[in-house]
Amino acid sequence: MTDTASTGGHAVDTPADDRWLYAWATGYAAVGGASLLLPLYALSLGADAFYVGLMASTAAFAGVPGALLWGRLAGRTGRRRPFILVALVATALVLLVSPFISSPAALVVVNAALWFVVSAAAPVLNLVVVEGVGQSEWDGRIARLNALQGYGWLAGLVVGTVWTGVAPQLDIGPVIAQRSLLAGLGVLAIVAVLLFARFYPSAPHTSPERFARGYRRLTRRGWGAGRNLRAIPYGPARIYWGLRSLRSGKLQDRFSGPLLGYLVAATLFSAGFSVFWGPMPAHLVGLGFTDGVVFLLFLVGTVGSTVCYEPVAQLTKRFAPARLQLAALGVRAALFVLTALVVGAALVGGAFVAIGVTWAVIAISTTGIVTRLADERVRGEALGVVAALAGLGGGVGNAVGGALASVAGPLVTFALAAAVVLAGGAIGVYSARSAKTTATGRGENVQVAE
């Protein structure tokens, strides 16, 4: 197959052509399993909460330059297929090499490399998935990509849960089980490479410039993200296209005061989330949980959010987004502290499910709030900015959480996470209410905070 930037081409919005999406989802299953397995492997090699938090932080920061570099190269060359193939091949190589690593510091580098290549493919995937369809269908196409990625991620967690649970019954030691699972996930990534090479569509021609312009109009449903966001709040694709869609000039000249205030709020509570999640694998291992239990806990938390997106979307039609979000942030902050106090797997699992439910509320209400606070002409740009700032806050939060947990323990760390989340929630509600006050003074009706 050829892969050119010709202006010709054909629609790929058919079930047969979508087989390449299943190939990518297969590769994403390997990534989903490795996302938790690599930190657990680092802990087996002697790492502590600091290293685990550092792994999460460097992964977050490595993803942005990866997306920027790959997106720029793809735009200049007019080619798509090689960049996605390289990402999948590199994923396989990273996972196949990891079992031979015996240093936690080296694993930090390897984990960052994994997320660099995975994130690098994100903007290119978005260009391919909308190929051959009108802009009115872009949101649905991206939603399909997000859904299959989400299912792949869940599948990877399921594989990790099953294998790490079965391995002790086969008298396989924890480290050997981790290394064999890494190798197995690497083989799965190779399968994804072969499938992708076979089914990838030819002759894509949607330009990055056209997509960046179209991004600003993908606002009503939050860019296909409603039901299918994973446990990671804002993906590299949204950050990348958010940055690409930015207009020149100062934000305060285009964004209202309440919107700027909400951007600060989203950055804060996203950082708080990561202060909690960054050292979490180390905390669970410290409680004496096996790898199988840790995988299961992350799995039920992810499922808890996934099954609630649709009910939450219906709930937002009855209640103001800011009110729902404040309640979710308050509950989540309380659960963060509670998680530091409980020790039983069942209790921690219940907390994880509830935390997952709160994420569904926060993810959907964030889009609703930004959509209402931003003027139509800057709405897409605003969604891009909030995604980028949330990613930045998440990267910082992971590092802070890991460092603090290594010296002060989980209770202090999770209490700080809760405090940062509540601070962000307070600023967000104040911003929403100030927007309502301003609109009321102008005789307008804004359903953000009431």
* 3-state per-residue secondary structure call for the chain: CCCCCCCCCCCCCCCCCCHHHHHHHHHHHHHHHHHHHHHHHHHHCCCCHHHHHHHHHHHHHHHHHHHHHHHHHHHHHCCCHHHHHHHHHHHHHHHHHHHHCCCHHHHHHHHHHHHHHHHHHHHHHHHHHCCCCCHHHHHHHHHHHHHHHHHHHHHHHHHHHHHHHHHHHHCCCHHHHHHHHHHHHHHHHHHHHHHHHHHCCCCCCCCHHHHHHHHCCCCCCCCCCCCCCCCCCCCHHHHHHHHHCCCCCCHHHCCCHHHHHHHHHHHHHHHHHHHHHCCHHHHHHHCCCCHHHHHHHHHHHHHHHHCCHHHHHHHCCCCCHHHHHHHHHHHHHHHHHHHHHCCCHHHHHHHHHHHHHHHHHHHHHHHHHHHHHCCHHHHHHHHHHHHHHHHHHHHHHHHHHHHHHHHHCHHHHHHHHHHHHHHHHHHHHHHHHHHHHHHHHCCCCCCCCC
* Same-domain pairing of 277 and 334: yes
Whether residue 38 is found in the same domain as residue 101: yes
User: Containing domain of residue 22, as a range?
Assistant: 13-215
Among residues 426, 343, 10, which one has the least CA distance to residue 206?
A: 10
254 shares a domain with 176: no
How high is the pLDDT of residue 229?
Answer: 36
State how far the Cα of 317 lies from the Cα of 323, in Å rounded to an integer.
12
The verdict on residue 242 lying in a domain is: no
| Alpha-carbon Rg for the chain in angstroms | 21
Domain identity same for 205 and 311 = no
* Cα Dmax for the chain: 71
Cβ contacts of residue 269 below 8 Å, gap of 6+?
A: 329, 362, 393, 420, 421, 423, 424, 425, 428
- Tokens representing 373? 């606070």
Q: Supply the pLDDT for residue 440.
A: 41
Give the CATH number, domain containing residue 389.
1.20.1250.20
pLDDT of residue 15: 38
Q: Check whether residue 271 and residue 193 sit in a common domain.
A: no
Residue 373 lies in a domain: yes
Residue 6 lies in a domain: no
Looking at the structure, tell me whether residues 209 and 253 fall in a common domain.
Answer: no
Statement to judge: residues 258 and 383 lie in one domain: yes
How far is 157 from 447, CA to CA, in rounded Å? 39
Q: Is residue 449 part of a domain?
A: no
Query: pLDDT value at position 294?
Result: 97
How far from the centroid of its chain's Cα atoms is residue 134's Cα?
26
Same domain, 80 and 175: yes
User: Does some domain include residue 302?
Assistant: yes
Query: Is residue 85 located within the same domain as residue 118?
Result: yes
Residue type, 319: F
User: Which amino acid does the sequence have at 379?
Assistant: R
Residue 376 included in any domain:
yes
Which one of 215, 239, 269 terminates a domain? 215
Q: Is residue 299 located within the same domain as residue 398? A: yes
- Residue-level pLDDT at 433: 83
Report yes or no on 447 lying in a domain. no
| Total number of domains constituting the chain | 2
380 inside domain: yes
Look up residue 54 and give its two tokens: 């550092």
Domain check: are 64 and 118 in the same one? yes
pLDDT of residue 50: 97
pLDDT at 43: 97
What pLDDT, on the 0 to 100 scale, is given for residue 230?
Answer: 35
pLDDT by 10s per residue, the chain, length 450: 333 333 333 333 343 367 888 999 999 999 999 999 999 999 999 999 999 999 999 988 887 777 677 666 766 766 667 788 888 999 999 999 999 999 999 999 999 999 988 887 877 787 777 766 676 677 677 778 877 888 899 999 999 999 999 999 999 999 999 999 999 999 999 999 999 888 876 655 555 556 655 655 554 444 433 333 333 334 555 566 666 656 655 666 678 889 999 999 999 999 999 999 999 999 999 999 999 999 999 999 989 888 887 788 788 778 888 899 999 999 999 999 999 999 999 999 999 999 999 998 998 888 788 888 888 777 767 777 887 788 889 899 999 999 999 999 999 999 999 999 999 999 998 998 886 655 444 444 444 444
Give the model's pLDDT for residue 228. 34
182 and 289 housed in the same domain: no
Provide the pLDDT for residue 204.
54
